[in-house]
Amino acid sequence: EENGHQNKKLKKDADGQDAEDQNKKSPKRKIVLLMAYSGKGYHGMQRNVGSSQFKTIEDDLVSALVQSGCIPENHGEDMKKMSFQRCARTDKGVSAAGQIVSLKVRLIDDILEKINNHLPSHIRILGLKRVTGGFNSKNKCDARTYSYMLPTFAFAHKDCDVQEEVYRLDRETLEKVNKLLACYRGTHNFHNFTSQKGPRDPSAKRYIMEIDCGEPFVRENIEFAVIKVKGQSFMMHQIRKMIGLVIAIVKGYAAESILERSWGEEKVDVPKAPGLGLVLERVHFEKYNRRFGNDGLHEPLEWAEEEEKIAVFKEQYIYPTIINTEKEEKSMANWLNTLSIHDFNSSAVGMQTDNKNSKVTIEAIILSNESCQ
> Which amino acid makes up residue 143?
A
Distance CA 81, CA 85 (A): 11
Residues 79 and 206 reside in one and the same domain: no
Distance CA 364, CA 373 (A): 23
- Which residue among the candidates 91, 142, 295, 343 is catalytic per the annotation? 91
Distance CA 164, CA 125 (A): 36
Residues 190 and 324 reside in one and the same domain: yes
pLDDT at residue 22, as a whole number: 53
Q: Which of 106, 130, 154 is the last residue of a domain?
A: 130
Residues 185 and 316 reside in one and the same domain: yes
Residues 276 and 332 reside in one and the same domain: yes
> Which amino acid makes up residue 58?
E
Distance CA 359, CA 20 (A): 66
Distance CA 140, CA 230 (A): 16
Distance CA 223, CA 151 (A): 6
Q: Is residue 355 part of a domain?
A: no
Binding residues: 146
Residues 118 and 224 reside in one and the same domain: no
Of 102, 104, 103, which is closest to residue 140 (Cα–Cα)? 102
pLDDT at residue 347, as a whole number: 56
Task: Give the CATH number, domain containing residue 149.
Answer: 3.30.70.660
Structural domain of residue 246, as residue ranges? 143-286+304-341
Give, for all 373 residues of the chain, the pLDDT tens digit.
445 555 555 554 544 444 455 555 567 899 999 999 999 999 999 987 766 678 999 999 999 999 999 999 888 778 888 999 999 888 888 999 999 999 999 999 999 999 999 999 999 999 999 999 899 999 999 999 999 999 999 999 999 988 889 999 999 999 999 999 999 999 999 999 998 899 999 999 999 999 999 999 999 999 999 999 999 999 999 999 999 999 999 999 999 999 999 999 999 999 999 999 999 999 999 999 999 988 888 889 999 999 999 999 999 999 999 999 999 999 999 999 999 999 998 754 344 444 444 433 333 332 333 334 4
Q: Is 59 assigned a catalytic role?
A: no
The residues pairing with 28 across neighbouring beta strands, listed in sequence order, are 106
Q: Is residue 18 part of a domain?
A: no
Of 120, 84, 124, which is closest to residue 101 (Cα–Cα)? 84
Residues 119 and 186 reside in one and the same domain: no
Q: Is residue 293 part of a domain?
A: no
Residues 59 and 150 reside in one and the same domain: no
Residues 183 and 323 reside in one and the same domain: yes
Domain count, the chain: 2
Q: Is residue 372 part of a domain?
A: no
Burial of 263 (0-12, 13-18, 19+ CB in 10 A): buried
Q: Is residue 278 part of a domain?
A: yes
Binding residues for substrate: 146
Q: Is residue 323 part of a domain?
A: yes
Residues 73 and 159 reside in one and the same domain: no
Residues 115 and 211 reside in one and the same domain: no
Q: Is residue 105 part of a domain?
A: yes
Residues 102 and 75 reside in one and the same domain: yes
Q: What number of H helices and E strands is found in the chain?
A: 12, 10
- Is the CB of residue 40 less than 8 Å from the CB of residue 321? yes
Q: Is residue 14 part of a domain?
A: no
Distance CA 332, CA 222 (A): 12
Distance CA 128, CA 165 (A): 42
Alpha helices in the chain (DSSP H): 2-25, 57-67, 73-77, 111-117, 171-182, 238-250, 258-262, 286-292, 307-313, 319-329, 331-336, 351-358
From residue 205, alpha-carbon distances to 232, 233, 308 in Å are 11, 10, 35
Q: Residue-wise over 22-60: b if at least 16 C-beta within 10 A, else e? A: eeeebebebbbbbbbbbbbebbbbebeeeeeeeebbbbb
HEC profile for 95-107?
Answer: EEEEEEEEEEEEC
Residues 70 and 92 reside in one and the same domain: yes
Distance CA 368, CA 372 (A): 10
